[in-house]
Chain A
């Protein structure tokens, strides 16, 4: 593994090691760039992961204090936990479920397609599906996505059997075990899936793609990556010319270090990426770095989500096997007749008993609730994930008073559900219940959104600098050697799980950084 001097200003500093940062670092190293990767969390491995929901949550989740506001139910149930993301090497690719879906063409043109949705700050992406298609193909190959590249689908588990039978009985046409970045056959020196049922807790078989044991070791093998775990970025610094010059971070001993850089790439997940820019304000950039548009932190999206769990009079054991290898895509298509803009996917999901108790109805107690939990073995579950509307007032901002362990303002995450989000969620609940009722559910339970794992849009891409934070390459409009490399760049959310698109954008961004460097534009 490489070690670069903190005064070496020829390195690229990548902040964050998840889907965006981990992929970008590997792509850049393979092109010969020297990369310093700062990761706030510790390095775990398949050996240190545990099939234990609460243990894994404490081991992997980002638990630094945050506050919430707005009408979303998360603010009431989890006031200090707006998001369920990770602080560990590999970022949230350690926790993700593996669903890898391409955006649809119309989703890149949300403003044009849905026209003027009242209260929504919609914008078309500055790129189209055609621009991304070749990069999507590279991402699918890199990640080993099932049902692409001649990789067979995963075998369906019990939870999928229930979904499949219910879905086909209500007339849904496209129902299968998904496009999953989980090996159905050994591939890329990783095993095939053992159906452990603990995808969210870190994959102990290594079948699920995570930058922790794919991109990052591959980058280390080039001799070009200096990975620094337990290194928490505090501020991006800039010079008199307005270009980024380096990153101030706290190392594992709490010592403040400045790592100089020729290029800085931010991939801290949408809450921390926005917070880092806001915490990097200066006399030159009083609103925060790269924020002349005032859009940093705004348009925060988290997908319209919800779950439907159903109880049957016979066993299901939903927790056995790959958590999200099951999908109904019929509701994802463009269809304006349902009373809302955008579409959604219906995907299998399961929780172990400990997290079922925590999440099925947060805060609930009493016999009605405990009797639902007693039916645990007879339960099936699905997750609804759909396009939510960007709103200028849904925003990550700096807390006016509270500070973190480094003395910096903590983030507040404000989210009001848009009427479109509510209409979609209620329709999704109804359709999910219909699927389960078609196969004899005794009872269905509509479950509110969990803390957000899909955090998007806080540094969005835009054609015009006034509408967003970065251009189609993720390069910030204001600071040309500063890039946004995670889901923060999403102009709109689409209805698909975002990781594949984050990886795709990172591959494309690496190509751009290389090309612009060759042209001496960076």
Chain B
């Protein structure tokens, strides 16, 4: 089967992202220590637990931990400004550990998911989920991985940048879709 250039490029991009994630894994321990030291109010343990939680809420194998660290950093900043958020996060982490009879962060992924399912209606879970939804998917670095181009105004919109470049279906007739003028 003939692979079109665009598809080839698309698939190559995924492979490259995968490689970089694997490469990051090599130094994960070192990175993690450096990262948790940057947290303002959360402890290293709390940060690591929230990081694992964030990975299970919106899991993307092609994203390395750095994207999820940003989610926890945002929560940490809010916790340092709003004591009530810090209290909620600390209690939530403690509760996850309690239900894991040890460290939630050390449990296998499947167990982490079922532990999160049990608390998915709690304000703590919703706090992390909704913060992550914004911090993860509103991150321009994540957009690149997901093929979303973001703001188009700086390059004059998509009029001359592929708004109608789909080529795997026939073009509609001019009566339905006039040529741009």
Contact = CB atoms under 8 A, between A and B. Distances in A.
A54 B166 contact: no
B178 A153 contact: yes
A314 B161 CA distance: 18
B163 A374 contact: no
Query: Is chain A's interface secondary structure helix, strand, loop, or mixed overall?
Result: loop
Interface string A353-369: 11011100001011101
B59 A352 contact: no
B150 interface: yes
A176 interface: yes
Q: Is the interface of B mostly helix, strand, loop or mixed?
A: loop
Nearest to B164: A157
Contacts, number: 163
Interface in A154-175: 154-158, 160-162, 164-165, 175
A357 B177 contact: no
Contact of A164 (B146, B156, B177, B178): B177
A358 to B, nearest CB: 6
B6 to A, nearest CB: 7
A204 interface: yes
A279 B147 CA distance: 48
Contacts of B163: 155, 157-158, 195, 197, 320-321
Interface stretch (B38-46, B69-77, B96-104, B131-139): B131-139
A356 B168 CA distance: 24
A contact residues, range: 35 or more
Nearest to B128: A365
Interface residues of B, number: 51
B162 A376 contact: no
A519 B7 CA distance: 70
A197 B178 contact: no
A76 to B, nearest CB: 11
Interface in A126-180: 152-158, 160-162, 164-165, 175-177
Residue of B7, B59, B126, B159 most packed against chain A (CB within 10 A): B159
11 contacts: A50-B151, A156-B177, A158-B162, A165-B172, A175-B176, A192-B181, A197-B152, A315-B10, A320-B162, A366-B113, A376-B148
Interface of B: 6-7, 10, 56-60, 62, 113, 116, 120, 126, 129, 133-134, 136-138, 142-143, 146-153, 156-159, 161-166, 168-172, 175-181
Interface of A: 50-54, 152-158, 160-162, 164-165, 175-177, 184-185, 192-198, 204-205, 314-317, 319-321, 352-354, 356-358, 363, 365-367, 369-370, 373-374, 376-377, 439
